[in-house]
Amino acid sequence: MTIPLWIAAAIVGLVVGTGIALVIQNIRLKKANNDAESIVQEAVREADTITKERMLETKEESKKKMEELQQTEKELNQRELSIERKADLLEKREEEIEKLDKSLDERIQRVNKKDQQLSEVIEKQNRRLEAIANMSSEEAKEQLKENLLEKAKEEASQEMKKIQDEAVRDARKEAQKIVVSAIQRSAADHTAETTVSVINLPNDNMKGRIIGREGRNIRHFESLTGVELIVDDTPEAVVLSSFDPIRREKARIALEALIADGRIHPSRIEEMYEKASSQVDDSIMEAAEEAVSELGISPLPSEMMSLIGKLKYRTSYGQNILKHCIEVGWLTGIMAAELGFDGELAKRAGFLHDIGKAVDRDTSGTHAIIGGEIARKFDEHERVVNAIESHHEEVEMTHPISALVQAADTVSGSRRGARGDTLESYIKRLKKLEEIAENFSGVSNSYAIQAGREVRVMVEPESIDDGAADILAKDIAGKIQEDMNYPGKVKVVIIREYRAVNYAR
């Protein structure tokens, strides 16, 4: 049977293909083996490299640790040497102290021995003196005590008379110092009335116009005027806040004009502020001219007039400074004329004594020294300059007019009603007076009356007698004077009431 040709071809192809496949497979196996060997060799090389690196790192770390250990050992050795040296020093000091103690003990023994000998000598001398004077040591002590008391009384009486004479001679000067000191010590805090101005609005819608779109109006207003504009929940009102009264006044006038006009935008704010500034400047010069005219003194330079006018917007403890200067000028002029001095010059000195307060916010130094420099700059009389600089005793007075200015300043500032007092400080002062009195033993109750000018103290009659009441009044007055600041004087009244009660049955 003959096999077909195509079947034979197929068989041959199959055999050939199988052979080729086996050859390819062998080739791939050889390649895979080669690749595997190369990978293994590469891995071995990398492992060797890593091992060598690790060994190097380990050696370096070991070296560093050895160096650190050596350094630590070196430091420990140094510390050990230092400790040994200190121990040696301590041993030497202990030896020295032992020697000193021994020497001190010997000295104490010698001193005690000498003390005993001295006591024996004194005892012998006392016995001899008693035999000579025919009186005992106690009698001699009493006699000596009486003589010393008589001598002390005589010396005390002479000293008191001397002090009283000096006090009478210096009474006016000392009184001025005390009044000035009391006024300076009784400084009150700034109150809201002297730092803010309230502006009334026609309606609350005006607040939005004052603020402007995204706050541009209020920002421009504050940067231009230097005054803080407070817009809060207060109905139909805004607040201007600044410690500079002139800036606050210019801002107030400008804002009121803007509200009345109704057109509020940056350019309009600038226009109104310029007008307000001009208006305030004119007001300053008018106030200065009126003051100079009222006092009748010779004209002042325009720059000084501007400074004087600014005092219209300054206050001190509630007292207007410009009015205070006018008042001091009048008082100084009257006193100088009565004493035979130059009344016009004294009036000028009193009027200008606080001119430094016009610029003391912007210049370093006290207002008295600043005022003296201003007066000297404009060629004022040297007596006027000295009166300004010395009215708070920062420089020495060179003429009686300076003392008159100081006295007039004290009178103007301390007279009743001149300077205000806040309700809060007033209540605190009353409570403080009562607390001081009630802290003393034997006091049952106390009441501060007459606006704090008098304290009535109720005491327990069983523990405080009439003599002790006088001492208690003096002690309470001294404590008040020590712990409190107050104008004038405080009267302390001790009330001791004893009631004997019985019943007839």
In a domain, 2, yes or no: no
What confidence score (pLDDT) does residue 207 get? Answer: 83
Q: Report whether pLDDT(5) > 80.
A: no
In a domain, 142, yes or no: no
What confidence score (pLDDT) does residue 440 get? Answer: 92
Average pLDDT, the chain: 80
Domain boundary among 355, 388, 414: 414
Ramachandran region of residue 502, left (φ > 0), alpha (ψ -120 to 50) or beta?
beta
- Contact (Cβ atoms closer than 8 angstroms) between residue 479 and residue 436: yes
Dihedral over Cα of 332, 336, 338, 342: its sign: negative
3-state DSSP call for residue 441?
coil
What confidence score (pLDDT) does residue 457 get? Answer: 92
- Contact (Cβ atoms closer than 8 angstroms) between residue 367 and residue 357: yes
Based on the fold, state whether residues 427 and 477 are members of the same structural domain.
yes
For residue range 46-100, what is the model confidence (pLDDT) as tens digits?
Answer: 888 888 888 888 888 888 888 888 888 888 888 888 888 888 888 888 888 888 8
Q: Which tokens belong to 398?
A: 């060179």
Based on the fold, state whether residues 320 and 271 are members of the same structural domain.
no
Residues 161-167: what's their mean pLDDT? 63
Q: Which tokens belong to 385?
A: 């300059």
For residue range 401-458, what is the model confidence (pLDDT) as tens digits?
Answer: 888 988 888 777 655 444 444 456 667 888 888 999 899 988 999 988 766 778 899 9
In a domain, 183, yes or no: no
Query: Rounded to two decimals, what is the model's pTM?
Result: 0.46
CA 459 to chain centre: 40
CATH number at residue 329: 1.10.3210.10
How does residue 386 score in pLDDT terms, banded at 50, 70 and 90? very high
Q: Report whether pLDDT(250) > 80.
A: yes
What is the C-alpha to C-alpha distance for residues 378 and 352, in angstroms, rounded to an integer? 12
Domain boundary among 283, 302, 329: 283
Q: Report whether pLDDT(178) > 60.
A: no
Listed residue (286, 213, 235, 226) closest to 254, CA to CA: 226
Domain boundary among 414, 438, 471: 414
Q: Report whether pLDDT(2) > 70.
A: no
Work out the percent of the chain whose per-residue pLDDT is above 70. Answer: 82
CATH number at residue 240: 3.30.1370.10
What confidence score (pLDDT) does residue 185 get? Answer: 39
Instruction: Provide the domain count of the chain.
Output: 3
493 forms bridges with which residues in the sheet?
A: 456
Residue type, 41: Q
Based on the fold, state whether residues 379 and 396 are members of the same structural domain.
yes
What is the C-alpha to C-alpha distance for residues 343 and 120, in angstroms, rounded to an integer? 80
Q: Report whether pLDDT(144) > 70.
A: no
Q: Give me the domain span that covers residue 271.
A: 192-283
Based on the fold, state whether residues 475 and 437 are members of the same structural domain.
yes
Describe the crossing of helices 321-339 and 343-351 by its angle, rounded to 10 degrees.
Answer: 160
- Contact (Cβ atoms closer than 8 angstroms) between residue 183 and residue 421: no
Q: Give CA angle at 427 (423, 429), nearest 5°.
A: 115
351 C-beta neighbours (distance < 10 Å), count: 27
In a domain, 441, yes or no: yes
